[in-house]
Amino acid sequence: MALVTSKKMFETAYKGGFAVGAFNVNNMEQLQAIVEACQAEQAPLILQISRGARKYANIAYLKALIDTAVKQSGNLPIVMHLDHGDTFETCKQCVDDGFTSVMIDASHDPFEKNVEVTSKVVEYAHKHGVVVEAEIGQLGGIEEDVVGVTGDDVMKHVTDPAEAERFVKATKCDSLAVACGTSHGAYKFKTEPKLAFNVLEEVAKRLPGFPLVMHGSSSVPKEFTDLINKYGGNMPNSMGVPEEALTRASKMAVCKINIDTDLRLASTAAIRKVFAEKPAEFDPRNYLGPARDAMREMVRHKLHVLGCAGKASVCV
């Protein structure tokens, strides 16, 4: 199957009460782990490429890897998505490069400027059959070049449902990332967060049937931070979004949930374990292989948390 847009995925997810997992890709092992997990669980898939990934791996290499994965994945519906595009030019280039979905993140700009930039991206992308995700409100934490508000201020910058309604109607974007108390990175919160589900509910009332997106949604599982620390790491006080909160959101209007940090943790824990137990190891295949295995199992687990396992066939 060729790459698809997220339109049918989100329509099906909204009606079915589940969310599609969106996983960031930086290299071959990570891509293999994600795609193999979705094949095993027959889940629809969104592969995300960030600015950092394009800088690290070169989009030509990533596109070639994704093209290969698509050819080998049978009838699995796969979206190639730009994560946190920061300018019209970046989004335009990704549309021209064959992405089937792009995100324009002008959430740091004043409302009217965000509308202006997003509308320009929507106009260009829609002419080329590409869907657009936008963002309103501000998350906390740090992810690559995306710097949010401080952890203590996250709940002060949640999305205003009335503004979200105005924004979607003005821009004609296809999905909207909303700030509901989540945060980027591994060091999200000092205590277990309480997400603003009332914001999700109110936006859904104002925009019935419209797909919402949750960023900063990795759960930072303690088992992996413990392994990293056991084998020489230093990750104290790391805490993420509880998985039960992700499941609850996926049964509401949230149709796409982004997962990145959890894969990094699984990979790093596996590599550190190999280095600690086999200090003479120098063959990358012998530590990147276990890292790939750990990420694959992490993704398989997340697909059940989000409720999209077994949903591939109804998303095409």
CA dist 240 and 242 (Å) reads: 6
Distance CA 87, CA 245 (A): 31
**Are 13 and 308 contacting, i.e. CB atoms less than 8 angstroms apart?**
yes
Residue 235, both tokens: 């990750």
Question: Is 83 annotated as catalytic?
Answer: yes
How many of the other CB atoms lie within 10 Å of CB of 290?
17
Q: For 247-270, give one letter per residue: b (16+ CB within 10 A) or e.
A: bebbebbbbbbbbbbbbbbbbbbb
3-state secondary structure 215-246: CCCCCCCHHHHHHHHHCCCCCCCCECCCHHHH
Q: Are 257 and 308 in contact (CB under 8 A)?
A: no
Phi, psi of 290 (to 5 degrees): -60, -35
Choosing from 83, 160, 260, 262, the catalytic residue is 83
The two three-digit tokens of residue 198, written as one number: 């009332």
Q: How many CB atoms lie within 10 A of CB 16?
A: 16
Written as six digits, the tokens of 28 are 């071959």
Residues noted as catalytic:
83
